[in-house]
Chains A and B, each alone.
Chain A
Amino acid sequence: MNDGLTPDVENKNTPKVPLKPLGKVLAVTSGKGGVGKTFVSANLAAALASRGHRVLVLDADLGLANLDVVLNLHPKVTLHDVFTGKAKLEDAILPAPGGFSVLLAGSGMVEYSRLTTEVRDEFLRIISSLVPRFDVVLMDTGAGISDVVLFAVSLASEVLMVATPEPTSLTDAYATIKVLVGQQQRQTVRLIVNQSTRSGSGQAITNQLQQVLDRFVATDPEHPIQLIHLGDIPVDPEVRQAIMRRQLMMQHTPDCPAGKAIAQLARTLERTVIPKPA
């Protein structure tokens, strides 16, 4: 039996062979907490929404994502209510500033943070019924490799890994990618370097990680791993301003350097993984 204690890469609760990943579902994840996952999810969602996509951001950290804080939302109905049968899914999908929708987990979801079969099935059912309603679903997952994170990521067709250029963040990102490759047979991970201090450093970091992955993880030439540099978000005082004011940066200062970088991320995604809106 899985005791839920060890970050077990062979965790029985997380499907070893992933369920068929759901198209249009992108997991925004990170090796280490506090690197800006939620900030990136919310602002990327706004950037995509402004380009005409119907976007949903889902708190897949089961109540520990700070989506409500970043967006200054005070939801009355959350995923928790859907889980407990108190509300319908439709009622828990809320409009967010920035023209996209959010589904917040609600603090009660922490109780479900041990991934039982029931929770997994319910979560899967909810995600499956969300997918047809949106062009893109961004899952703001927790950090690291807990069973909840691994399960959420296993549902996504694409993984967007957020990291900052610090050694701790990169080590944890690398370790997480290793687990994703080993457990979920991921072959492609997209890297977003947040708080980058120098233009071009994100590509250098990606190359560096790719080299180490090639040498230590993708030792089988039949199964290469491709780390794709999706883009950098530069250090920008506007980011802090927006977070402190609990405003969506893409709504208030979309032309600041970080805002332009996120808009660029959206365009890159559109070119590569997301179909253009009809």
Chain B
Amino acid sequence: MTRFPDTSLVNLHNLKLDDACALLQHDAKNIEQEAGESDAAYLQRLIDGLCELSLRDPLTGLNNRRHFRSVLERSIDIVARSGESVLLLLLDIDRFKSINDGHGHLAGDQVLREIASCLAHCLRPMDTVARYGGEEFAIILPNCRPAFGLAVAERIRKSVAALSIPVSPLLSLKVTISIGGAYAPEWVRSTTDLWIERADKQLYRAKSEGRDQVCLDQPRELSVSAEEKGLLFGHLLMDESGIQENVPRDATSDEQSNAPKRENA
């Protein structure tokens, strides 16, 4: 579908670009049409800028809640098909209200910005960190195996706790965060609301158990014990020697008779 037929040239002067330009200018973007820049390219640049604005939190520069939701939706599709482990963390600054009350809102904003930048530095490029609400952040960690989830969350918690945030020339603040997390259940197509709710429950637990800590909702793994696994893979010894059959024939008989013995030794 062509919304702008080729015959109609969009006249920049007829478009009401002032509001868009004002928004972008506020965000320190160049809103002037550059010399040699075509109308279409200029318009595209303004649109790109607006798209970016619509996905970003203005105070911290992190992704905003809208972007976060769309990444979370996408993660659910991936998990349903691939069974990949994806961890969702919700983070909340402990006693943030007392910072605002005691040191003013500018200090509060500074704390939010510093923590945001710390979070962004803690993560891998494929992770998504967003400002979720007032003093709440959210992180999506794709391909994060359950065995590592707690270590990752603890590293984030400690990094924030180690910050010394200057809020005035003479004063730096120490802040802590509480973290709640939940894995998307593998193979099950869930909804973002339910997933967030589970992480939120864990965040509540972390808060009520004394703050400055991590609580994760452990995925209910299919229970296959180590003993069962040990027995399951007994045949692999045979299979290993089976693969050897593809190498020169005269070597095979030796390999076959030797392989299990070597394992036993």
Contacts and interface: CB of A to CB of B under 8 A. Distances in A.
Interface of A: 3-8, 32-34, 64, 110, 113-114, 142-149, 165, 167, 170-172, 174-176, 178-179, 197-198, 201, 204-205, 207-209, 211-212, 215-216
B57 interface: no
Nearest to B186: A144
Contact of B81 (A64, A205, A212): A64
Given A142-B187, A167-B236, A175-B222, 15 more contacts: A5-B190, A32-B83, A114-B189, A114-B190, A146-B187, A146-B189, A167-B233, A171-B229, A174-B224, A175-B223, A175-B224, A178-B222, A197-B243, A201-B239, A216-B225
Interface residues of B, number: 35
Contacts of B186: 7, 144
A114 B191 contact: yes
Contacts of B77: 110
| Residue among B186, B189, B191 facing the most chain A CB atoms (10 A cut-off) | B189
Given A7-B185, A171-B229, A172-B222, A33 B83 contact: yes
Contact of A4 (B82, B194, B222, B225): B194
A201 B83 contact: no
A146 to B, nearest CB: 4
Nearest to B222: A175
Nearest to A199: B242
A9 B190 CA distance: 16
Contact of A212 (B191, B228, B242): B228
B175 interface: no
Given A171-B232, A197-B239, A198-B242, A149 B190 contact: no
Contacts of B227: 216
Given A7-B186, A142-B187, A198-B243, A33 B231 contact: no
9 contacts: A5-B195, A8-B220, A113-B189, A143-B83, A146-B80, A172-B222, A175-B223, A201-B242, A204-B235
Contacts of B188: 4-7, 144, 146-147
Contact of A179 (B81, B222, B233, B239): B222
A176 B77 CA distance: 21
A145 B223 CA distance: 12
| Residue among B187, B227, B236 facing the most chain A CB atoms (10 A cut-off) | B187
Interface in B161-220: 185-191, 194-195, 197-198, 220
B232 A144 contact: no
Q: Which 3 A-B pairs have the closest CB atoms?
A: A144-B187, A198-B242, A175-B222
Contacts of A207: 235
Given A143-B83, A171-B229, A148 B235 contact: no
Interface in B59-79: 77
A211 B231 CA distance: 8
B187 A197 contact: no
Contacts of B222: 7, 145, 172, 175-176, 178-179
B228 A174 contact: yes
Interface string B42-70: 00000000000000000000000000000
A175 B232 CA distance: 11
Contact of B231 (A110, A172, A198, A215): A215
Interface string B225-252: 1011101111110110011010000000
A167 B232 contact: yes
